[in-house]
Structures are given as C-alpha cells and as structure tokens.
Amino acid sequence: MAELIYNEQGRLLFTEEMRREYTILIPNMLPIHFRLLERIFNNHGYRMKLLTTTGRRIVDEGLRYVHNDTCYPALLCIGQFIDALKSGQYDVNKTALMMIQSGGGCRASNYIHLIRKALKKCGMEQVPVISLNLASLEKNPGFHLTPALLADLITAVCYADLIMLISNQVRPYENNKGDCDRLIDKWVDKLVEINFNFGAFDKVSKEIVEDFGNIPYTPDPEKIKVGIVGEIFIKYSPLGNNELQKFLESEGCEVYCPGLIDFLIFMGDHHVVETELYHVKYKKYIASTAVKGFFKMMQNKIIKAVKGTRFFGPTPFEKAKKDVEPYISPANKMGEGWLLTAEMVDMIHMGINNIVCAQPFGCLPNHIIGKGMIRKLRETFPQSNIVPIDYDPGATRVNQENRIKLMLSTAKQQMADNKKQ
C-alpha cells in the first residue's frame, strides 16, 4: 500500500507512487466517449477502469450513503463507486476514484465532496478521489493534465461525437443486427492505433462516415424519430436514464441525441456572455473565447464530413443560439442553461417533433429550462410532442417507459393524420 499523504486541508492526495500502482475507477456517462477516455488515460501511464454496472442495486447502494434529496446523478455515481469497491474485484488499498468537476453553479461541482463523505461513512477513507477539471479546483502530485493528454482527450471527444451521431442514424435500419456496434468497436480500436491524430481529423472523419455508410440497411419511413434532451448525465448515461436509447430503439425509433461538443461550446459561450453583460472575468473571457472558437471549428468539421451523404449533421452553434432567443435569455447559464431549450427548438426545426426531456428530480435549473419551457414551445409549435420524464430513486422504470409509450402513441397518430392530408 502506498504511503498516504494529505494536504494542508486534510485532503488525501493521489501521489506519483499511486499513479504507478493504483487502478482508477470512473463512472460511465457517454458510452463511446468514455471508452475512448479510458484508453487514452491508459496510454498515458494511468490504470483506468470504466464502470459499466447498472441495475437497482446501484441506486440502493447510493441511498445508503447519500441523502435522497441529493442530485440523482450524484447518488448514482456514488452508488456505482461504492458497489465496485465492495464487489471484491478491486483492492481498496490500491484503488482510486475519478470524478469530473465543472466548476460551475451546478451541484455537480460538489459531487467529489459527497464521494469522500460516503467513503468515510463506509470505512474506506484510504481511497483517494481525483478531480478531473480544467478550472484548477484541485491538484494532485500524481495526476497531471499534460498538453499531450489534453490534446488526445479533446480530439477523442470530437471523434466520439461523430461516431455517436452517425451510428444512431444507422443502427435502427441495419440489415444485420450488430453491424453498427461492431463498427463502433473497430473505430475505437483504430483511433487508439492512430493516437487520436488531430491533424488527420478531416481525412479520418470522412473514412468513418464512409464506413458507416457502407453498412447494409433498409430505409423505413415509418420509423419514429425521437430526440433526447435533459441534464447532461441523465441525458447520456444508460445507468442514469435506465437505458433510454436502447428502449426507444426496441420500440422502433431512431434516436437523435446532441453531441458533447455543443455543451463544450456552451460552456465557453456563457463566460463570454457573462463578460459582455456584466463586464467581469476578462481573463476568463479570453480563454473562453478561444475554447468556444476551437470547438465551433470542430463542429464545422463534423458538419462538413457528413455533407453530401445520407446522414445529417449537428446544427451550427450560433444558429441554434439565435433560434432560441425568442424563448430564453442567453444569460441563463445554470445547469444546461438556454442550451437545453435550444436543443428542443433545433430538433423541432429538423422535423424531430417527438422529444424526451430526461430530468433528475430536484434539478431546479433543468425543470425551468426543460419542463418549464414545454408549454411555450407547444404554443409556438403545435406539432411538438414533448414528454418530461423524471429520474430519481423512487421512480420506476415501468412508469417511465409507459409515459414514453404514450408519447410514441401520439407520434404514430400524428404520422397517420399527416398521411391522410
């Protein structure tokens, strides 16, 4: 067991010795993105393990160590961590945990403190917790976001967004079930081989689009297109949303879920807007402008890669921002901020009228910018068919799926009515 070293505030540090010996566990939010993240950290000398466990036992484990009024994603992440540490698969004296911190006003920035509290409660205080953040919130001598590591992570996000975008447009129509998922596995391995070459992004992205475009498929105009929006963890994580995408596809739907790049541009944009409106944080304004510009460039590369193919790409960020102006202020930045409403407006403009708004109960920003905006959108877009679904420890999967089935029933009726006209 490595020597335990604490900082002046009494926080257990992740040391260089731990880096060589410890396994780092991380919860799974975006399946494709985090698979790449796991491989990248391992390539850079860490021993990372992505947790993919699901099921009610994760919720129950979380409830033992977190108050049920706490944000549901926090409860799930903590439950998944504790479940893994208790499973016997990992030596608790040689295991660390990693959690992403945004540094914003959302309670997500406090997850890491709740994790440490839970570890203390279950007698595992010797397990260090690493903060993955870009805001210098916490530092550890054994964990460094080097320029090379950061470059790989950023490039991987862009590749993963592209793969998620087009695979969702292929999977419901493939002639041979499993072709799409096998191709995802192939490209995860291939991207690791080429070391996430940023300079080759244009060339490789076209190869990815062509590869998925070659999967044998049968068009089906009867497929219902359903968009997913919501709080970032619940929107993407199969653990958080009870495998929502898999359920929708089993019901004969094509799923559209906006990429992570949109959120990263939004994170940069709200610092820019904050400076413009309130004349504060000028240093952050410069950095945020650069971040926003870079990811807008990468989004345009993805749009270019699918142009001229049977696939559709994401809506340019500035267009989505302009389209949502009649409904919500760009100063609304907490949680997913105005972006969540913009995603719903964008989907309706794309002809995706059926939308699931996945929200953790108790997430105040999400209820305002998600559920709270539905009435206004329905007034403007009568064809919109939006259903808010709450996810919390007391919500049953059966109830959630039944509500979604009612939404799909409405969608089918609307499709039938449109054919008669």
| Domains present along the chain, CATH in parentheses | 16-144 (3.40.50), 221-258+314-420 (3.40.50)
**41-48 contact pairs (CB < 8 A, 24+):** 41/149, 43/152, 43/192, 43/195, 44/146, 44/148, 44/149, 44/152, 45/19, 46/19, 46/143, 47/22, 47/23, 48/23, 48/24, 48/98
Angstrom distance (rounded) from CA 239 to CA 206: 32
pLDDT over threshold 70, residue 266: yes
Band of pLDDT at residue 105, cut at 50, 70 and 90: low
Question: Would the pTM of this model clear 0.75, i.e. be above it?
Answer: yes
**Average pLDDT for residues 221-237, to the nearest whole number?**
94
Instruction: Please give the backbone phi and psi of residue 214, each rounded to the nearest 5 degrees, phi first.
Output: -85, -5
pLDDT digits (tens, 9 = 90+) for 344-353: 999 999 999 9
**Average pLDDT for residues 249-269, to the nearest whole number?**
95
Angstrom distance (rounded) from CA 113 to CA 106: 14
pLDDT over threshold 70, residue 164: yes
Note the pLDDT of residue 197. 82
Band of pLDDT at residue 125, cut at 50, 70 and 90: very high
Task: Provide the CB-side half-sphere exposure for 315 (13 A, CA).
Answer: 23
Note the pLDDT of residue 364. 80
pLDDT over threshold 80, residue 228: yes
Note the pLDDT of residue 285. 87
3-state secondary structure of 334: coil
Most confident of 130-134, 161-165, 360-364, 370-374: 161-165
Angstrom distance (rounded) from CA 62 to CA 77: 8
pLDDT, greater one: 273 or 85: 85
3-state secondary structure of 211: helix
Note the pLDDT of residue 283. 80
**Average pLDDT for residues 79-85, to the nearest whole number?**
96
pLDDT over threshold 90, residue 242: yes
Q: Please name the amino acid found at residue 130.
A: I
Angstrom distance (rounded) from CA 151 to CA 121: 37
Note the pLDDT of residue 108. 64
Q: Determine which of 190-199, 212-221, 261-270 has the lowest per-residue pLDDT on average.
A: 190-199
**Average pLDDT for residues 54-82, to the nearest whole number?**
90
pLDDT over threshold 80, residue 1: no
Note the pLDDT of residue 334. 84
Note the pLDDT of residue 299. 97
Band of pLDDT at residue 133, cut at 50, 70 and 90: confident
Degrees, nearest 5: CA angle 234-51-266: 40
Note the pLDDT of residue 274. 84
pLDDT over threshold 90, residue 363: no
Angstrom distance (rounded) from CA 292 to CA 127: 36
**Average pLDDT for residues 237-249, to the nearest whole number?**
96
Please state, rounded to an integer, the average pLDDT across all residues of the chain: 92
Buried b (16+ CB within 10 A) or exposed e, 316-348: ebeebbebbeebbebebbebbbbbbbbbbbbbb
pLDDT, greater one: 13 or 112: 13
pLDDT, greater one: 24 or 197: 24
